[in-house]
Structure 1
Amino acid sequence: MAPVSLLDLVSTLPATDGWGPPPSTETTLDGVPYAPYSKADKLGRMADWTEGKDRERGGRQQYGNRNYRDQQIYGAGQTNNPFAIQVAEEEATFSVVDNTRTSARGRGFGRGGGTVFRGRGQRGAATQRGGRGTFQRVGGGRGGQGGYDSRGGRGGRGGRRFGYRDDKPQRNRDASIQVKPDWTLLEEIDFARLTKLSLDTPDGDDIDSYGFLYFYDRSYDKQPGTKTSERKLQVLERAAYNVTTSSDPIIQELAEKEEGTIFATDSILSMLMCAPRSVYSWDLVITRQGDKVFIDKREGSTLDMVTVNENAADAPLELSEGNKDTINSPGALMMEATHINNVFPIQVVVESETAKREMPNEHPFYNPAEETDPAASKAYKYRRFDLSLAQDEEPMHLIVRTELDAVLKNNISGEDQFLTIKALNEFDSKAPGSGGALDWRSKLASQRGAVVATEMKNNSCKLARWTVQSILAKADMMKLGFVSRINPRNPNDHMILGVLGYKPRDFAAQMNLNLANGWGIVRTIVDMVLKMGDGKYVLVKDPNKNVLRLYSVPVDTFEEEEAAPIKGDDAVEE
């Protein structure tokens, strides 16, 4: 039986008006196939007639433009001449086989070369940063060496990331306070809701001022980062006080006089207003007595501790998380930063009894008969803010105790300008947890803006709180000192590299700090408490989630911890 060609079979099918080439029984030449075939041809889609039509119209020659994946339709490897020399077909199918072993150096990921990913969950080598006992990002940078750039990603472009979603381990921090079984959960507020709140509040009014202020030493305003601006940080013994709201005798008097509805200190209020920026756990004790609300801190609370790189992408690790560097753990860094902020404002003022600014009232906490050390330069201003809404039947006023650290004579107007003085500290720019900070000694003079911008990123919550406190106190200037360790391995000796000054509201604009949002948070929390009955409540920031929780607690909670006298024993020697 004679063989039957494919075209003969097609010709027997009934003719249809379907889309596609019309059936035909003709061939181009006797004995020549309908279309030439080459082993080098790449088969694309079956019966893809659109490819040829696009070419006729002068349209796309690459289907989807995917690296010529489907550009070769059947027969495209040969010329249109069916009598092409067969030698071309043989040459097209010829290839050289390389039996040499592939070098491990070429097995990189992305565009650069790099090291080969081995193991699972192993820690990085001593020369690599960022390995935290989880999947690592590996690969070469532009120079061909494996490493990480300042953004925490691969050094080269187009790198791949290993691990489930992210290569950072899940941080399991401890809560600032243990929730007791007899506490009742009333509200749970996530930060996404808090950031949407807003309340326009006018500038506060001064009620009264207490204490005194020394004048700021202008010699510290030299060009930072130079040898002439460096000075060793001294430890001076001065009596300073950190009295909570309910223990403040001035606030108690103002409450009895019905001067306000809400009472707090600037440290407590700033934490509440900057809550969406916080990462570490914290808590506040809120007491309602009739129509009055007192916002306090616990005895022994870490609320007044100064955090370090709290908002950094690679924040310092706890000892329980594998950090073997005890001096650079979060707790040790907080103690170091708090100590620096206690002694730094004392050193940068000129202590002169003849040249100082006395407030109308004497120091509310200092008792010279009981204290052996002189009082530190500090002024306490009690100010009132109006948080009322249009629909409120009675006005809602907040009274806050604010603090000022020094005074400065304006060279142009000759008026006294009030200052708040804070200090940023550098522990080791090369250590894990530094947040990609620049070396202050070499970069503070030439790249001051970059140094400050990095601190705004790594310490967003801390700097926002300091700015809010300065605005609440109506300070004219906020002085920021840059204090670094003399030796990165010694957390006890420090050097002042320089001091920069900022106007609080300008600094807030640089940080994208919205005061109206902070006032909205305060008003919302107070409204929650006012809906409840008289009693004691605890507001806790979850240690591992962006959530605030409001608990109702027994009235006698923390009573044994808060039974401390107001004067004398509340002093903190610095």
Structure 2
Amino acid sequence: MSESLADIIAGLPKSDTWGPTTTSETMLNGVPYQPFSKSDKLGRMADWTNDGKDGRDGRGGRMQYNRNYRDQQVYGASSASLFAAPAAEDEASFSVVSNVRDSIKTRFGGRGGVFTRGRGQRGGARGDSRGGGRTQQLRSGGRQGGGQPGYNSYDRGGRSNTGARGRRFGWKDYDKPARNRDASINVKAEWELVEEIDFNRLGKLNLEADSGEDVDTYGFLYYYDRSYDKQPVKSAEKKLNPVDRAVYNVTASSDPVIQDLADKGEATIFATDSVLSMLMCATRSVYSWDIVIVRQGNKIFLDKRDNAALDMVTVNENAADAPMEGTEGNKDGINQPPALAEEATYINHNFANQVVLESGQKVEMANPNPFYNASEETEPPASKAYKYRKFDLSTNDEAPVYLVVRTEVDAVQKNSTTGENQFLTVRALNEFDSKAQGSGGALDWRSKLLSQRGAVVATEMKNNSCKLARWTVQSILAKTDMMKMGFVSRANAKANDRHVVLGVIGWKPVDFAKQMNLSLSNGWGIVRTIADMCLARGDGKFILVKDPNKNVLRLYEVPSGSLDEDTDDADDDEEPAAQEEQE
């Protein structure tokens, strides 16, 4: 009476059978359709266990997607791997997968023989037969200790032969959190945004200008002490002593000489070398800064605020791992950006006054110092000459545009060959701690400045590109013959109040600009573009602000009295603080 299983199955309707329905839309002669090349051999119909070379299921294969080969893929060419039968598996092929890097060091290349390159380099190093590699950095213009001119070489395994230790700068930079820096000035809601220019547009500007001509000279100069050019003995390092001298940093609109030249109609644009160099080197800047632009009739004055950010000398602004603020976790107070800027400014002021011979002769300019008043000052004037120079920024003869800039010269020296006077600008680079965060992979100056001077200079060009570019532009604007660069280090890395002079190196400003790939024509193009934007508007005040976290310049039109209110508020904040200190 009971039916067999075969009879039950035979009695079922065909529509209730297990499995997908058979259609002709996705089938080709009874075989599931899959695109493939005619040269491919068919294996299994489907293979879901095929592993890629990166170990991830189903995402590998000989022609897996790769951004470097995305334009070379052939449609259907990778389907052969889906039909290929995998090799037989056995227990001998079983292995434990671990994501922990092997800590065993190989003979060449450090851990696992890995050779890492810095960001931005093309290709890899050509490996030798032993698994190593050799590469070289960009030309830096100096000589290394090994005698190779202008290169930073690396030994096998990617380790720098310059002696720097610590982390590899540039490694996993993409994984670092973005820093949020504060702006140099608070932008108010009533300010009108005139223009926003990114650095890519600024870098394409170009304007050829002449070498300039002297309009008038003021002040005097002492002779430079050539003993600082000799490498000091370690046991007799020269200390940096505080030298109190009267130094002035008057903005363009407050300069009596510039006001007199403006009344005579000598030029359209008026500026000081400090403000003008910042604008010409804007594309190299990282920190925020601002420039106040005043238009009076057809005249443009490039000014600065009191205690402006561009008056301070930055330290390692362009380093890959720049010094961190206290809010970012830097507990070392003397190595934070504001403290380092104050230290560098203090060093530059004293170094320029220390390296001149005040007891000897001095060179008088055509006019006395326009800012010094002997009846009011308690300190003697510093060795400083002010040269007011005129440049032609015209693009056509119909609408001439001239610029007058006040430049500064720090010292003078006799030419050893001709005996003529050579004008000098004196600046100082400072070392705080080669092992601290923010050092930018700098070498130890005490041990490497003499033997690897080129490597030291190349590192400073990389870490302080904006600062060195500004100093070079100021020297070229003043048309000085030589730029003296001092190397000053802390007597103790943990204290920022005592310093020693390790050496002085001199360069011709034009040659130094070529080594830094500095384009003056691009700087003149930036100046003329910003001036034309202000001339297209009416009389009033403008402020040019560099964004603290982006490579962008923003030009605002400021209502009358807005900037004065900011100055008054700052003064009100300082008075209670001063009263608290006195109490």
Query: Could you tell me which amino acid in structure 2 is paired with residue 306 of structure 1?
Result: V
User: CA 1:51 to 1:286, structure 2 compared with 1: closer, same or farther past 3 Å?
Assistant: same
The CA RMSD measured in Å over matched residues stands at 3.3
Structure number with larger C-alpha Rg: 1
Residues in 2 aligned to 1:240 and 1:515: alpha-carbon distance in whole angstroms = 28
- Of all paired residues, the percent bearing the same amino acid is 63
Residues in 1 aligned to 2:269 and 2:492: alpha-carbon distance in whole angstroms = 46
Counterpart of 1:499 in structure 2 is 504
Matched, 1:258 2:272: no
Matched, 1:50 2:49: no
- Offset, 1:201: 0.1
Counterpart of 1:117 in structure 2 is none
Matched, 1:398 2:398: no
Residues in 1 aligned to 2:560 and 2:89: alpha-carbon distance in whole angstroms = 89
- Offset, 1:300: 2.0
Counterpart of 1:377 in structure 2 is 383
- Offset, 1:516: 0.2
- Offset, 1:401: 0.3
User: CA 1:207 to 1:100, structure 2 compared with 1: closer, same or farther past 3 Å?
Assistant: closer
For residues 472-511 of structure 1, the aligned pairs below 5 Å read 472-511=477-516
- Offset, 1:229: 7.4
For residues 16-415 of structure 1, the aligned pairs below 5 Å read 50=39, 95-96=91-92, 106=102, 112=111, 149-153=167-171, 161=172, 166-223=174-231, 226-227=233-234, 230-352=237-359, 355-390=361-396, 393-415=398-420
- Offset, 1:303: 1.3
Residues in 2 aligned to 1:261 and 1:75: alpha-carbon distance in whole angstroms = 80
User: CA 1:72 to 1:320, structure 2 compared with 1: closer, same or farther past 3 Å?
Assistant: closer
CA contact (8 A) 2:221 2:383 kept: yes
Counterpart of 1:82 in structure 2 is none
- Offset, 1:230: 2.7
Counterpart of 2:13 in structure 1 is none
Matched, 1:541 2:549: no
User: CA 1:72 to 1:545, structure 2 compared with 1: closer, same or farther past 3 Å?
Assistant: closer
Q: Deviations over 1:208-252 (max 9, x none)?
A: 10000000000000136x427731100011111111111111111
- Offset, 1:102: 7.5
Q: Secondary structure at the match of 1:343?
A: helix
Q: Secondary structure at the match of 2:529?
A: helix
Residues in 2 aligned to 1:93 and 1:562: alpha-carbon distance in whole angstroms = 79
Residues in 1 aligned to 2:374 and 2:385: alpha-carbon distance in whole angstroms = 17
Of the three residues 416, 426, 429, the one matched with 2:431 is 426
- Offset, 1:264: 0.3
Residues in 2 aligned to 1:315 and 1:253: alpha-carbon distance in whole angstroms = 43
Residues in 2 aligned to 1:438 and 1:306: alpha-carbon distance in whole angstroms = 21
Residues in 2 aligned to 1:514 and 1:286: alpha-carbon distance in whole angstroms = 24
User: CA 1:361 to 1:47, structure 2 compared with 1: closer, same or farther past 3 Å?
Assistant: closer
- Offset, 1:167: 1.9
CA contact (8 A) 2:36 2:80 kept: no
CA contact (8 A) 2:391 2:402 kept: yes
Residues in 1 aligned to 2:104 and 2:550: alpha-carbon distance in whole angstroms = 37
Residues in 2 aligned to 1:103 and 1:538: alpha-carbon distance in whole angstroms = 53
CA contact (8 A) 1:216 1:348 kept: yes
Residues in 1 aligned to 2:476 and 2:372: alpha-carbon distance in whole angstroms = 25
- Offset, 1:395: 1.5
Report how many residues are paired. 454
CA contact (8 A) 1:222 1:228 kept: no
- Offset, 1:113: 5.2
Q: Deviations over 1:62-82 (max 9, x none)?
A: x9599xx989998998xxxxx
Residues in 1 aligned to 2:431 and 2:446: alpha-carbon distance in whole angstroms = 10
Q: Secondary structure at the match of 2:295?
A: strand
Query: Could you tell me which amino acid in structure 2 is paired with residue 204 of structure 1?
Result: G
- Offset, 1:98: 7.7
Query: Could you tell me which amino acid in structure 2 is paired with residue 403 of structure 1?
Result: E
Residues in 2 aligned to 1:393 and 1:104: alpha-carbon distance in whole angstroms = 71
User: CA 1:64 to 1:260, structure 2 compared with 1: closer, same or farther past 3 Å?
Assistant: same
Residues in 2 aligned to 1:75 and 1:273: alpha-carbon distance in whole angstroms = 66
- Offset, 1:525: 0.2
Counterpart of 2:148 in structure 1 is none
Residues in 1 aligned to 2:552 and 2:205: alpha-carbon distance in whole angstroms = 15
Residues in 2 aligned to 1:51 and 1:107: alpha-carbon distance in whole angstroms = 42
Unaligned runs of 5+ in 1: 1-44, 54-62, 78-91, 115-140, 154-160, 564-574
Residues in 1 aligned to 2:84 and 2:214: alpha-carbon distance in whole angstroms = 88
Residues in 2 aligned to 1:550 and 1:335: alpha-carbon distance in whole angstroms = 28
Q: Secondary structure at the match of 1:516?
A: helix
Q: Deviations over 1:523-559 (max 9, x none)?
A: 0000000000011111111111111111111222334
- Offset, 1:508: 0.3
Residues in 2 aligned to 1:526 and 1:103: alpha-carbon distance in whole angstroms = 58
Counterpart of 1:553 in structure 2 is 558
- Offset, 1:50: 2.3
CA contact (8 A) 1:229 1:497 kept: no
User: CA 1:262 to 1:229, structure 2 compared with 1: closer, same or farther past 3 Å?
Assistant: farther
Query: Could you tell me which amino acid in structure 2 is paired with residue 256 of structure 1?
Result: D
Residues in 2 aligned to 1:312 and 1:97: alpha-carbon distance in whole angstroms = 48
User: CA 1:378 to 1:229, structure 2 compared with 1: closer, same or farther past 3 Å?
Assistant: farther
Matched, 1:450 2:455: yes
Q: Calculate the TM-score normalised by the size of structure 2.
A: 0.72
CA contact (8 A) 2:431 2:488 kept: yes
Residues in 2 aligned to 1:205 and 1:101: alpha-carbon distance in whole angstroms = 73
Unaligned runs of 5+ in 2: 1-33, 43-60, 65-78, 114-156, 160-164, 569-583
